[in-house]
Amino acid sequence: MLDFGMVKAFRKPPAYRGQRNFPGWWWSATTRSHVVYGSWLERHHIIEADRDARVVAILGRPFELTWPEGKEQVGHVPDLLCRMLEGQVVVIDCHSVSRTNEKFRRKAAVTAAACSQIGWDYRLVGEPDPVWGANLRWLAGYRHPRFGDEHLEEVLVSLFATAQPLSAARQAGDPIRVRPVLFHLLWRGRLSADLGLPLGETTILTACADPVGAA
């Protein structure tokens, strides 16, 4: 089995003046370490994986796959690799639909076939819905365990056992203390909401018994 603790990014994305993409490092609440990304699209899908309770490990730029095509040697470095709770491995490429060309589609097809040969899943993902993406970035600001509070968490879960608007959280106490805990619970999936709509005072929240695959 792949030992994620021994694996580092195969290739770090370049950074240079005038580049059009935005590379960086994402601190993962799942791994308690930084995950490299080469664009904001990659960062979004790292956030998606980081919030998914089924994901137990995340790697950026994990390996290079090479193969011959005619007289040339072709290579491809996938964007992400995740290990799931059940042990399954998922390889992910993040690619803008508008920028997908035949050359990339060929690389994606070869990568998918190679993953299939060793029992891994392969996914090609694109741009998220803008509202969903904005909400997820907001909640990610509360991903760190320091925003947890065992007592307030139980109060909020009890309060939202019956679906009601986010504004009802004022019943739990001072918003300065309560709101960070509430957003932490939304990040962890112990509270759920329709994140396809703008997050605000009228957003309906509901407590969840099972946060796996938080919506």
Encode 57-78 in three state secondary structure. Answer: EEEECCCCEEEEECCEEEEECC
The pair of three-digit structure tokens given for residue 118, joined into one six-digit string: 């060793």
Same domain, 100 and 178: no
What average pLDDT score do residues 56-68 get? Answer: 94
Question: Is the residue at 137 inside a domain?
Answer: no
At residue 175, what is the residue type? P
Q: Name, in order, each residue with C-beta under 8 angstroms of 113's C-beta and a sequence gap of 6 or more.
A: none
Rounded distance, CA 46 to CA 138, Å?
14
As a whole number of Å, the CA-based R_g of the chain is: 20
Same domain, 47 and 119: yes
Domain count, the chain: 2
Burial class (CB in 10 A: 0-12, 13-18, 19+), 50: buried
pTM of the predicted protein model: 0.88
- pLDDT score of 130 more than 60: yes
Confidence of residue 96 (pLDDT cuts 50, 70, 90): confident
Predicted pLDDT at 213: 58
Same domain, 104 and 188: no
Question: Is the residue at 202 inside a domain?
Answer: yes
Q: What is the DSSP string of 107-150?
A: HHHHHHHHHHHTT-EEEEE-PPPHHHHHHHHHHHTT-SGGG--H
The pair of three-digit structure tokens given for residue 65, joined into one six-digit string: 């796959």
- pLDDT score of 11 more than 70: no
